[in-house]
Amino acid sequence: MLNLAKTLSKFLVRSSQWTLQSRVWFATAQTLCTDDSQLKMGGQEYWQNRWLTGQIGFHKKQINDYLIDNIDLLTGGKKGIKIFVSLCGKSLDLKWFANLGHDVTGLEFSDVAIKTLFEEQQMDYTVSPMENLKSGTIFKSKDHNIQVYCCDFFDFSSSIAGQFDAVWDRLAFGAMPPCKRKQYSDILVSLMKPGAQCLMLNNEYDPTVMEGPPYHVPIENIQEFFGDRCEIRTIQRGDSLEDRWKKRT
């Protein structure tokens, strides 16, 4: 029986701050994910179906508290920086960043999520094809301070959108099937400028009691995939399991 009070308890959420060391550029790993069960439960088809059927209990209806508490760590207290939000869904965090004066870029493969983001936040936007990616489109707010790429994360690169001063990863790494984490980490690091900061939230729980997604991500995984290129520091932990996740609504 799952000890909901503490084992999964708000997933023991981790916010990790990365400071890039000198080596920034790494080639994207070309390893293939051969675990069909992982791809079925954590692949694009799974998440797209969640959006199409409205099963989005993972969506927060307010600005993320961990982000608010640690915004200065992410931005260094600077204004007008370039921020990347990975697998952003329809997160309210994007508009919040923009309201603080930052240039915000999100990435999400579900056009349903992106359209809903702009419409619910009452932002006028344009849609155009990505020039250097056949299957992608770009959603841009009319004031041009928010843009969201609708494409496969694994097709994305700094040649498309440049590098960023800061990265906000709320459970995106943890949404990856474990066999995709190396490839994901390589791309994410390649998007970061030297000295860039990243705040990452992940879940920790007993994987013998519940399986993802979102997947159990112990700190050892963060060290394994990012430690050779980034300085990693756990800055906050908390209780984060919510009933809507337990019920898979």
What is the pairing mode between strands 230-238 and 13-20? antiparallel
User: What is the separation of C-alpha 85 from the centre of its chain, rounded to a whole number of angstroms?
Assistant: 6
What local confidence, expressed as pLDDT, does residue 242 receive? 46
pLDDT at 35 over 60: no
Asked whether the beta carbons of 151 and 135 are under 8 A apart, the reply is yes
pLDDT at 205 over 70: yes
What local confidence, expressed as pLDDT, does residue 154 receive? 93
CA distance 113 to 58: 12
What local confidence, expressed as pLDDT, does residue 38 receive? 46
65-69, 88-92, 101-105, 209-213: least confident range: 209-213
* DSSP string over 177-204: -GGGHHHHHHHHHHTEEEEEEEEEEEB-
What local confidence, expressed as pLDDT, does residue 115 receive? 94
Asked whether the beta carbons of 240 and 18 are under 8 A apart, the reply is no
What local confidence, expressed as pLDDT, does residue 9 receive? 16
Average pLDDT (68-84) is 92
22-36, 172-186, 233-247: least confident range: 22-36
Cβ contacts of residue 53 below 8 Å, gap of 6+?
none
Q: How confident is the model at residue 57 (pLDDT cuts 50, 70, 90)?
A: low
